[in-house]
Amino acid sequence: MTKKIVLSAIAASVMATSAMATNGATMLSYGTKDKAMGGTGIASANGAVSAIMNPAMIADAKEEVSANVTYMMIDVTATRDGAAPKSSETDTSIVPTIAYVKPINKKLTVGLDIYGAAGMGVDYGTESTIFKMKSELAILKVTAPIAYKINDKLALGFTPVFASGSLAMSYFASAAFDKSATDTAFSYEIGAGYKATKELTVGLAYKAPISLTYDGVLNSTDGAAKQFFVSNITDELEQPAEYGLGVTYTMGKSTINLDYKTIAWSSAAGYGDFKWDDQNIIGLGYEYNAGTWTARAGYSSTNTPLTDSTTNAIDALNAFGFPAVIKSHMTFGGSYDVSKKTTVEAAVVLASGEDYTPESAIGAFGVTSTASSNDQTNVTIGVNYKF
């Protein structure tokens, strides 16, 4: 009964918050360890939370519950026509994650994860030059990973996914616009882990797209696209497919992670219509394990998905409403074993973006150019308990 109460409370808190994501509209990563190591972990066995990156990596996990909360400090600005930048009032966000894992026998391990998977949002409600734009996208995932050991070297993982999404947009330009909607969907994730040697592990992970439709919010008939004179837009905003390859190498007390991941924005319904490019993300992480304490650091780099689409109103909607312009993350953190069963962890992420400055002219609104920026400092605190 206690476990059910805890899971319900975490689920409610996740649904009540939205993340300002840092890889497009997705999070860098989800556990405290992987955040501290540059968002890497596709080939890492980090306990219960490992399944969010790759379900195969819980194959050797002991029974454990892991909980963490990320406090996001956000600095987002927008400007038009060369004026001084205006700051979004969406300057903080809190995103919790909980993960539970339990081995059933020597070959089969199962788990349960509840976490904020994606999000984006701004609040220029007092800035008339930015159309008093407000946007809020939030996606919650509830997943049940399953890992099966084929042999001592190879493990396979499968995760059924339930996703709940919400999208709200409001602004005042030529007319007032204020709409919101929610949707739910099912999807899946798969993964594999292969221990090539005692020191070297290779991981593969795939996250299938999630189709979510926000009725009346985006479309070209009566949604945001109509207000900005953009045609052929529907209300579907599909969370895109992700493909990842990871390598983990351990040398005594030191561990090095190297991950490469692609997020397929250009082929995702909605994001493709808004001319987002695919993101290619490379992350490097280092861990030093001294026994009772562990130190970690990392770095990741990517291209921003926003393009100069030559469709001026689309550029303005991206710049003002969805400033997905972060390119790099510097990370560090560590953990301490309070007891044989309990470990506390922390991670700090410094996320930096590049200015998005398409030449976006929207004659009906008198806009000749737009620009936006996005920088963040995120702090994550976590606790792991082994049963």
Q: Which CATH class is domain 2-386?
A: mainly beta
Q: Residue 63 CB: number of other CB atoms within 10 A?
A: 15
Q: Locate the domains of the chain by residue range.
A: 2-386
pLDDT in tens, the chain (387 residues): 444 444 444 444 444 455 678 899 999 999 999 999 999 999 999 999 999 999 999 999 999 999 999 999 999 999 888 889 999 998 999 999 999 999 999 999 999 999 999 889 999 999 988 989 999 999 999 999 999 999 999 999 999 999 999 999 998 876 788 999 999 999 999 999 999 999 999 999 999 999 999 999 999 999 888 877 788 899 999 999 999 999 999 999 999 999 999 999 999 999 999 899 999 999 999 999 999 999 999 999 999 999 876 667 788 888 889 999 999 999 999 999 999 999 999 999 999 998 888 866 666 567 778 889 999 999 999 999 999
